[in-house]
Structure 1
Amino acid sequence: MSQLIQAVLNSDEKTDLRQFASEVHNQPERYLLRNDILSVFDTFCEKYEKTPAFQLSSRLQKLIYYTQEILVEDENLYLIIRPKIASEEAYRLDPRELVYEQIQIDELLDLRDRFVGHYHPQEGDILEIDFRPFYDYSPVIRDPKNIGRGVQYLNRYLSSKMFEGPQQWLFSLFSFLKLHSYNGTQLLINQRIQSPEHLSECVKQAISLVGGLPPEQPYPEFRFNFQELGFEPGWGNTAARVLETLEMLDELIDSPDDQVLEAFISRIPMIFKIVLVSIHGYFGQEGVLGRPDTGGQVVYVLDQAKSLEKQLQEDLQFAGLDTLEVQPKLIILSRLIPNSEGTLCNQRLEKVHATDNVWILRVPFRELNPKYTQNWISRFEIWPYLETYAIDAERELLAEFRGLPDLIVGNYTDGNLVAFLLSRRLGVTQCNVAHALEKSKYLFSNLYWQDLEEQYHFSMQFTADLIAMNAANFIVTSTYQEIAGRPDTIGQYESYRSFTMPDLYHVVYGAELFSPKFNVVPPGVNESVYFPFTRHQERTPGDIDRLEELLFTLEDPEHVFGHLDNPGKPPLFSMARLDRIKNLTGLAECFGQHPQLQDHYNLILVAGKLRTSDSVDHEEINEIERLYRIIDQYNLHGKIRWLGVRFPKQDSGEIYRVVADHKGIFVQPALFEAFGLTVLEAMISGLPTFATRFGGPLEIIRDGIDGFYINPTHNEEIATKLLEFAKECATNPDYWQQISEQAIERVYTTYTWKIHTSRLLSLAKIYGFWNYTSREKREDMLRYIETIFYLLYKPMAKKLLAKHMDS
C-alpha cells in the first residue's frame, strides 16, 4: 500500500527504512516470509536500540506489519504488502535513493521465476491463466468481512433483481417450480397453472382455502381440493405448514425480500439423491483410520452422510411427501481397492451403519497396471486415473439411483475434480469441500514444484484445484480463514489468486474470493461417539478398563512402544497420522527438550505404525524413523507411550474420555490444520485442548477461554503454555474443570452436524435456483475450464500414467 511506504519516506524514519533494508540485505535468505521479516525487524530494533514505542507504533513498524514477503534482487527490495484481508500490492523499493514504484502482477510473477532461475524471456511468453473476466457476469461481494457469507449476499442480489424486473423473475420462479418431480410424480404445481400471473392468482385462492382449515389437518385430507387449484404435494404436511409456505410465495411475488426468498427456496423439495465423492485413501467404516491418506476426511464424510439423511427425511416429512413413500438416498462414491489389506475396501457396495438408505459405492480404477491399480495409491499419485474413473462412476451412479442425482459434493482435490467431471456430464449442482489445499501446507510448493514433482506431482494437483474451485456452483469451508486468512495470514483459497508454476504457467487470477459461491459451514462431531467424560451412564466399564490398560500399562510389543515409569502423571495426549504436517514428532521433540514437561506429564501418542517395514508411505516412514531418533536422543524411555493401533470409532471416542478421567490434556501440534476435527472431538469429550494457531483451530478455540493456541514452530512457546497450564491447575484445583466445561459448551453451541446439514441443504437449493436462472452465463467459464483440463491437466496425467506403466 503506497501510503504506508510514503508515510515512512515523509517522516524522519526514512533513515530507519534504509538501515532496515541493509539488515535485510545482510540476511542469507533472498526471499523472506512474514516471520522472517518480523525477526529481522526485531534484530534491527535491538541493534539500533529502538524504543518500545518505536517497535510497537512507528510508521516503519506499521509498514513491516503489513508486509507479507520481501524479495531481494540486486540492490532493490520487492515488498508484497497486504494492507487488508483479501488485498495485495507489490512494490519495488530502491533503499539507496529511497524511491519506490508499484509493480503489476505479471512483473511479480516474472520476479519469482527469476528468483528460482526459471525466467526465459528469450523463449517467449509463458501461459497465463486468468479467471477474472468470467466473474464479470456474477454478483461480487464488496466488504471483506462478508466473504464466506455468499448465500446471504446472493439472496439479497436475487431479491433485488426480482424487485427490479418482476415479470422476468416471476417467470423464472414459475418455470423453476414446474421442474420438480419425484419418480414421475409431479410436485408443487401442475398444468392447471398456466402462467406466472395465473400462479399469483392461484396462490391467493389456495391461501383462502387452506386458511379456513384446522391448522393440524393432515395434507392428504385436503389434497384433492388443493390439486384442483393447480397445486401438487410438496407444500407441507399439515394445513398450517402449507399455509405458511404459500404465504412465503405470495409475499415473494408481491414484495421480494432476501430472507423470505431463502426461507421459501429452502422448503422446496428438490433434493432426494446426493453423491458424496471421496476418492483417495481407504474409505470404510472399520479398520481404516490411521492408514495412509485416511483420517479426518473419512470421519467427516460418514458423519455428514448420516446427518444429511436424517435432515432430508425430516424435510421431506414436513413437505408432506412421506405419504408418497419418498425416500432419500445418499451414495458415498469412493475407490474400490482390490488388495484392501483386511478392510472392506474391496467390496463394491456397503451399507452405512445406522442409516436407512446410505451406501458406500466403490468403483475401481481401470486396471492399466495391476501393480498400481490393485493396491492403495497415494493421493499424490492418483491423478492419471480420475477421468476414466469419473466415466465409470457415472454409469454406476445412474444404475444405483435409477436416474440423476440432485447434488454432487466433492471432497479434497481429487474428489472435487471427479465431482466437476460428473457435474459437467450430468448437469447437476456441484459443491466442493477442500478439507485441505496442499499448496498452503507445503512452503514454496508452487515455486519449487519442479524439484518436488517426482514426489508430490503438484503440477496436477494445483491445476485440478484451479479447475474444481472455479467450476463449483458453491464451495463449503469450515472457517473464514480457509478462504481469506486473517489480517496477518493469507488464506488457503487466497493463495490461489495469483502464483507462478515456473516453466509451466502463471496464474494471474485464479480465485475470486469475493464470489458468493463461498460459504462458511463448520462441521460437527458425532455426538453418539464423542461426548463428555462426565456422562458416566453412557460409558461402558469394560471399555474403560480395557483402554486404560492399553494407554498406560499393557505390554504389547506388536502395538505399543514404551512403558511409563510413573503412570499416575497426567497424560499429554495426541492422536493423528504420522506425517510431516501433523507434526507429532515435533511435539515429541518439544517434550524431550523440556525436562519440566516430563516432570508434569507423560507423553502418549496414538499414531500410525511402529515399524517402517509395515508402511509404504514415504512420509510415514520418515516420521517413524524420526520419532525413534527423538526418543533415544532425549532419553524419553519411561516417559512416553506410542500406540500403533487403529481404533474402532467407539474406542476413539472413549480414549479421549479416559484421558480426561486422568485430568490429561490434548495437544494438536500440526504445522497447518485446515479445520481440526480432532480438536472438536477432544473438546466435546472435556479435554483442555492446545491446538495449532495455523489454520482452523483459530476459529474453533477462544484462546484462554475454552482452549489454547500454540505455535508449532516454536517449541519454547509450546512448553511455556503447557507448563503455565500445569502450574495454574496446581494452584487452582478448579481450573482444569473450568476449561473442560467451557470446551464442551463451545462445541454444543456452535459445532453440530444438525446445524451443518440443514445449512448445506439450504445452500444446495438456493444455488440450484441460481444455477437455473443464470446457467447460460456459466458456459463460457466452463469451456475455459475444459480447455485447461484437456490441454494442461490431461497431458500431465498421461505422462505420469506412462511412468506408472513402465515401473
Structure 2
Amino acid sequence: MSELLQSIINSEDKNDLRSLMSEIRANEKQYLLRNDILNLYNEFCHKYQKKSELSQNSNLSKLIYYTQEIIQEDSNLCFIIRSKIASQEVYRLTPDLSIESMSVQELLDTRDRLVNCYHPNEGNLLEIDFAPFYDYSPVIRDPKNIGKGVEFLNRYLSSKLFAEPKQWLESLLNFLQLHQYNGIQLLINDRIQTQQQLSEQVKSAIAFINNLINTRAGEEPYEQFRFQLQMIGFEPGWGNTAARVLETLNILDELIDSPAPQNLEEFISRIPMIFRIVLVSPHGWFGQEGVLGRPDTGGQVVYVLDQAKNLEAQLKEDVELAGLSGLNVIPKVIILSRLIPNSEGTLCNQRLEKIYGTENAWILRVPFREFNPNMTQNWISRFEIWSYLETYAIDAERQLLAEFQGRPDLIVGNYSDGNLVAFLLSRKMKVTQCNIAHALEKSKYLFSNLYWQDLEDKYHFSMQFTADLLAMNAANFIISSTYQEIVGTPDSIGQYESYKCFTMPDLYHVVNGIELFSPKFNVVPPGVSESYYFPYSRNQERVESDRRRLEEILFTLEDSTQIYGKLDDSSKYPIFSMARLDRIKNITGLAECFGQSQELQKCCNLILVAGKLRVEESDDSEERDEIIKLYHIIDKYDLHGKIRWLGVRLSKTDSGEIYRVIADHQGIFVQPALFEAFGLTILEAMISGLPTFATQFGGPLEIIQNGVNGFLINPTNLEEIANKILEFINKCQQNSNYWQEISRSGIQRVYSSYTWKIHTNKLLSLARIYGFWNFTSKQNREDLLRYIEALFYLIYKPRAQALLQQHNSR
C-alpha cells in the first residue's frame, strides 16, 4: 500500500488528500472506524463538489476503501489499511504528507495513548506473541483457503507420504497399531510388524475378500469371516460386510501405492478411533426444559443439545459400519455443564440427565466449589464465572473419568468459558481439543479491548479475552460456522482476526494473537433439528391441536401475564421475529423500523417473541434496558393494535410450529441483529418455509443468497429495511407465486448445506484427521502449551482470584 500512498502524493490527488486530512482533523472523533471514514469521505466529495472519478475511481478513493481505521494523534494521522483479507499495513501521515511505516508495537502504543491510561515512559508492557509457535507447522498461503484447513492438511500429508514413503508408512503402521476399545485390539494385530508386511497383507486381504464376494455375496457379515482376516493380520474395524471391508482395504491400498488427498481423508475418516466425546458448556442453566429464559444461554443450549444427539447417532452408525457391533461397542456423548443447586424448578440441580431420543448421551452437571454459597448456589452470568473455571475443570476431570471409565477421545469446547475448560481438561488428559466459539464478545462490543477498564466491573473482558487467546491457540482444531467468522469480508474484519493484533492498555499488548493461515481453522456450519423444524407444507407431520393453540397465542389470546398488545386486524401480513432482548439482537430496532413506516403499518402486523414483559422479572441489566426501550417505542409511534409482544418460553416443539403458523399466514421472518455470528433462527425460519430477512453483518451473509432464497438487510438503516419488506409484499401482491418461490428456495438452501448429518460427519472426520496429524507429524506442542500455561498463571489466574474475592464479599 505504500506504493498507492506514494502515487497519491505524486499525482493531482495530493491536494485532495491534504484537504481530506484537514477535514479529518477537524472531526471531533479521534478514532474513526470504516463507516465513519466512508461517510466523512462522501461528505468531503459532496462539500467540495468533487467529480465522481475522485469519489469512485481515483487512487484516493482506493485508499479510503481499504482504510479500516484512522487514529488522530496530534497533527498526524495513523492509517490502518487492510488491502486484503487477514493482513494489514499501518502508516503515519504527517501534515506535510510524509509517510512513515509503523510497526505493530508503535500502533499499539498509539492506541494506548488514545485512552490516556498508559504512558510509554513509565515502563514497557507485556507483549504476547504466538507467531514463533507456528513456525514448525504448515501454513496456508491463499486467504480464500482459510477455513479449509483439513483439505490443506490432507494435501500436505499426502505430499509427505509421497516424498518420504518409508517414514510415513512407518507412521501409518504405528498409528493403525494404536487403536483399541476397552482393551480389545482393533484394525491390525502383531502378525503385521513392518511396512512391507502391511503392504503385502493388505493385498492378501483384498484377494481373500474378492474371492469371498465371488463365492458368496458382498453383504456377507463381517463376523462370518472375522477369524480368516485375523489370521492375515486384520482385527475388527474395517467394515461390517465383505463389501465394506473390501472398500476400506482398497482405499488403504491406493493410499500406500499412490497417495492422494481424497484417499487419505476417506481412509482416516473410516478409522474407528472416537467413541467417547465431551461437549463443554460450563456456565450452566443447561437442560432440556425450562432453561431458555436466560439472556446468554438459549442459543447455545439448542446448538449443543442438537449436536450431542446427532453426534451420538453418527457414532452409532460409524460403529455399525466399522463392524464393531459384535464387540459391544457403545459410544457415549457427555455434555459437561454446571450443577446449580437453586435451579428454580428446572433439572439444573440434577447431576446426570439423559438426553431425550438418545441411548447413551447425557448431561453431566458438576457444581462450582462453594467459595461463597450466596453466589455458587445460584446461576451466575457468563460474564462473572471466570473465577471458578480452574477448580471446575479439576472436579470435572474426576467425574468424566468415572463416567467414561477412562479418558474421552475428543473434547469440544463451546464459547469462551467452555473453550478454556476444554483446554484445561485436554491438557491434563492428553486428549484432542476442538474449539467452537459461536460468538466472540470482542467483536460484539465496540472498542471493548481498548476501554476494557471502563467495562471491567460489568463484563470482565480482561479474563474473557485472555481465555479466548489461550484456548484458540491451544486447540488442535477450530470449527467456525462461517468463513467470515475467521477473517471477515473484504471490508470488515473477522472475529478471530480481531485477536491478531490488539491492546488492552495497562494489561498487555497482543503483537500476534493467532495465526489465521493455520490449517487448524475449518468452516463447519451447524444444522437444523429436522424433527422440530420442517416445512409448513408437511401437514401430515403437524399436530392440529398445537397449530390451533399457537395460532391463538400469536394472534388473539388475551393473557396479560405473557402477552402485550392486541391486533386490530389479524388478517394483515405478519412480520415475525424471535430473539432474546439484548442490544445486539436489536429487536427494539425492528420495532422502531415498524413504527417509523406508516406504509408497513397499513399492511402488516409486528409479532415478537422476545424475552420478558416486565423489568422486575429480569435480572439482566441489558434486557431490562431493552424492555423499557420497547415500551417507549410502542407508545412513541402509537403501535397499539398493530403489535403483539409475547414474553413466553417456548419448547422446541412449539418453537418449530410457531414458524409454520406464521408461514400459514404468508408472513415473513426478520432477524435484525446488529451482528450475528451465525444465526440458527434464520435456518429454522427458512426450513419452515418463511421468507427471511436477516442482518448482513455476520453469518447470514453466507447463509442467504440475497434475493434468491432470502434477503439481507442493514440493521442500522431502518428506512431501507422497511422499503425492502414493502418491495417484497408488493411483489407478492402482483405475483401470487412469489411468496412460494422464495419459500421453496429457502427450504432447499437449508437441506442442501445446513443439516446436522453434514455437520457431524465433518466434525468426526476432522477429529480423526487432526488426531492422525498430531501423531504422524511428531509435532512438539509442549513449548506452545508451556507458554499458554505461563500466561494462564501470570495473567488470567490473578485476575480470576481478585474477582473471586469480590464474590466472597457479596
Secondary structure of the residue aligned to 2:708 is coil
Partners of 1:100 and 1:281 lie apart in 2 by 52
Secondary structure of the residue aligned to 1:673 is coil
Determine which of 410, 426, 429 is the counterpart of 1:426. 429
Amino acid at match of 1:654: E
Query: Who is 2:170 aligned against?
Result: 171
Query: Who is 1:526 aligned against?
Result: 529
Partners of 2:505 and 2:277 lie apart in 1 by 39
How far does residue 254 in structure 1 lie from its aligned partner after superposition?
2.2
Amino acid at match of 1:63: L
Task: Say whether 1:256 aligns with 2:263.
Answer: no
Q: Deviations over 1:729-760 (max 9, x none)?
A: 22222221111111111111111111111011
Partners of 1:701 and 1:311 lie apart in 2 by 28
Secondary structure of the residue aligned to 2:378 is coil
Amino acid at match of 2:29: E
Partners of 1:281 and 1:691 lie apart in 2 by 29
Is 1:281–1:292's contact at 8 Å kept on the other side of the alignment? Answer: no
Q: Deviations over 1:15-55 (max 9, x none)?
A: 11111111111211110000000000110110111223332
Partners of 2:293 and 2:667 lie apart in 1 by 22
Is 2:284–2:340's contact at 8 Å kept on the other side of the alignment? Answer: no
Query: Who is 1:146 aligned against?
Result: 145
Secondary structure of the residue aligned to 1:350 is strand
Amino acid at match of 2:234: F
Is 2:284–2:339's contact at 8 Å kept on the other side of the alignment? Answer: no
Provide runs of 4+ in structure 1 moved above 4 Å: none
Query: Who is 2:32 aligned against?
Result: 32
Query: Who is 1:787 aligned against?
Result: 790
Secondary structure of the residue aligned to 2:32 is strand
Task: Say whether 1:458 aligns with 2:457.
Answer: no
Query: Who is 2:72 aligned against?
Result: 72
Q: Deviations over 1:48-79 (max 9, x none)?
A: 11223332212111111100001111111111
Query: Who is 2:101 aligned against?
Result: 102
Partners of 2:27 and 2:642 lie apart in 1 by 40
Amino acid at match of 1:162: L
How far does residue 371 in structure 1 lie from its aligned partner after superposition?
1.3
Query: Who is 1:12 aligned against?
Result: 12
Query: Who is 2:89 aligned against?
Result: 89
Secondary structure of the residue aligned to 1:507 is strand
Partners of 2:72 and 2:284 lie apart in 1 by 41
Task: Say whether 1:233 aligns with 2:232.
Answer: no
Partners of 1:317 and 1:324 lie apart in 2 by 10
Q: Deviations over 1:473-530 (max 9, x none)?
A: 0000010000010000100000000000000000000011000000001111011110
Query: Who is 1:746 aligned against?
Result: 749
How far does residue 776 in structure 1 lie from its aligned partner after superposition?
4.5
Amino acid at match of 2:273: M
Query: Who is 2:707 aligned against?
Result: 704
How far does residue 788 in structure 1 lie from its aligned partner after superposition?
0.6
Is 1:337–1:375's contact at 8 Å kept on the other side of the alignment? Answer: yes
Task: Say whether 1:737 aligns with 2:740.
Answer: yes
Secondary structure of the residue aligned to 1:446 is coil
Q: Deviations over 1:242-278 (max 9, x none)?
A: 1121122222222222111111111100000000111
Q: How does 1:599-748 map to 2 (within 5 A)?
A: 599-748=602-751
How far does residue 775 in structure 1 lie from its aligned partner after superposition?
4.8
Task: Say whether 1:577 aligns with 2:593.
Answer: no
Task: Say whether 1:186 aligns with 2:185.
Answer: yes
Is 2:109–2:120's contact at 8 Å kept on the other side of the alignment? Answer: no
Is 1:476–1:518's contact at 8 Å kept on the other side of the alignment? Answer: yes
Amino acid at match of 1:802: Q
Is 1:156–1:258's contact at 8 Å kept on the other side of the alignment? Answer: yes
Is 1:290–1:607's contact at 8 Å kept on the other side of the alignment? Answer: no
Query: Who is 1:317 aligned against?
Result: 320
Task: Say whether 1:53 aligns with 2:56.
Answer: no
Q: How does 1:26-425 map to 2 (within 5 A)?
A: 26-94=26-94, 96-214=95-213, 215-425=218-428
Secondary structure of the residue aligned to 1:490 is coil
Partners of 2:118 and 2:533 lie apart in 1 by 53
Is 1:71–1:78's contact at 8 Å kept on the other side of the alignment? Answer: yes
Q: Deviations over 1:338-367 (max 9, x none)?
A: 111121111111111111111111111111
Partners of 2:560 and 2:340 lie apart in 1 by 29
Amino acid at match of 1:14: K
Secondary structure of the residue aligned to 2:706 is coil
Secondary structure of the residue aligned to 1:777 is coil
Partners of 1:320 and 1:407 lie apart in 2 by 21
Partners of 1:776 and 1:244 lie apart in 2 by 31
Partners of 2:54 and 2:604 lie apart in 1 by 41
Partners of 2:28 and 2:442 lie apart in 1 by 25
Amino acid at match of 2:41: F
Secondary structure of the residue aligned to 1:82 is strand
Amino acid at match of 2:693: F
Task: Say whether 1:442 aligns with 2:445.
Answer: yes
Secondary structure of the residue aligned to 1:50 is coil
Amino acid at match of 1:127: L
Secondary structure of the residue aligned to 1:367 is coil
Which moved further from structure 2: 143-152 or 605-614? 605-614
Partners of 1:281 and 1:268 lie apart in 2 by 34
Amino acid at match of 2:223: P
Which moved further from structure 2: 156-165 or 104-113? 156-165
How far does residue 607 in structure 1 lie from its aligned partner after superposition?
0.7
Is 1:559–1:644's contact at 8 Å kept on the other side of the alignment? Answer: yes
Partners of 2:566 and 2:658 lie apart in 1 by 18
How far does residue 696 in structure 1 lie from its aligned partner after superposition?
0.2
How far does residue 195 in structure 1 lie from its aligned partner after superposition?
2.0
Is 1:187–1:234's contact at 8 Å kept on the other side of the alignment? Answer: yes
How far does residue 566 in structure 1 lie from its aligned partner after superposition?
1.2
Which moved further from structure 2: 180-189 or 249-258? 249-258
Secondary structure of the residue aligned to 2:531 is coil
Q: Which runs of 5+ in 2 are unaligned?
A: none
Query: Who is 1:3 aligned against?
Result: 3
Partners of 1:397 and 1:777 lie apart in 2 by 27
How far does residue 291 in structure 1 lie from its aligned partner after superposition?
2.1
Amino acid at match of 1:689: T
Amino acid at match of 2:250: E
Q: Deviations over 1:691-736 (max 9, x none)?
A: 1111000000011111111111121221221222222222222221
Which moved further from structure 2: 566-575 or 760-769? 566-575
Amino acid at match of 1:507: V
Amino acid at match of 1:439: K
Is 1:30–1:71's contact at 8 Å kept on the other side of the alignment? Answer: yes
Partners of 1:238 and 1:257 lie apart in 2 by 25
Query: Who is 1:499 aligned against?
Result: 502
Amino acid at match of 2:65: Y
Is 1:281–1:293's contact at 8 Å kept on the other side of the alignment? Answer: no
How far does residue 556 in structure 1 lie from its aligned partner after superposition?
0.5
How far does residue 237 in structure 1 lie from its aligned partner after superposition?
1.0
Q: Deviations over 1:394-430 (max 9, x none)?
A: 1111111111100001100000000000000000000
How far does residue 238 in structure 1 lie from its aligned partner after superposition?
1.3
Which moved further from structure 2: 346-355 or 53-62? 53-62
Partners of 2:728 and 2:145 lie apart in 1 by 36
